[in-house]
Amino acid sequence: MPPNSERPGPIVIQGRELRCTVCSHSIFWEQEVQFATPLTELLDPEAWNRSAQCAVCERCGHVHMFISPATFKQTEESPDSQAQPGVA
């Protein structure tokens, strides 16, 4: 999703046209947003690169945020690594 904050238009995500989850409209303003990082991460260069592409619905203003799945780090506490209740 390339940034396009000058004029609204349709957005395609993974081959599908985005529809607003609130009002089903298909025209959006695009904007990149930097995430705020905790003070403890100021020395981590990776912390400065955390951002999301946002699609703001032209009709209702609902913000849809998209970040790269690589942004998330797998941890031992992730849901995929926990045993399912009742499953042996």
Helix (H) or strand (E) holding 11: none
The pairs formed by 23-26 with CB atoms below 8 angstroms and a separation of 24 or more are 23/57, 23/59, 23/60, 23/62, 25/57, 25/58, 25/59, 25/60
User: What does pLDDT average to over the chain?
Assistant: 76
What is the pLDDT, as a whole number, of residue 34?
79
In this structure, what token pair is assigned to residue 81? Answer: 């690594």
In this structure, what token pair is assigned to residue 79? Answer: 């849901």
pLDDT in tens, 39-81: 655 666 555 567 889 999 999 999 999 987 776 665 445 555 4
Domains annotated on the chain, with CATH:
12-70 (2.20.25)
Amino acid at 75: T
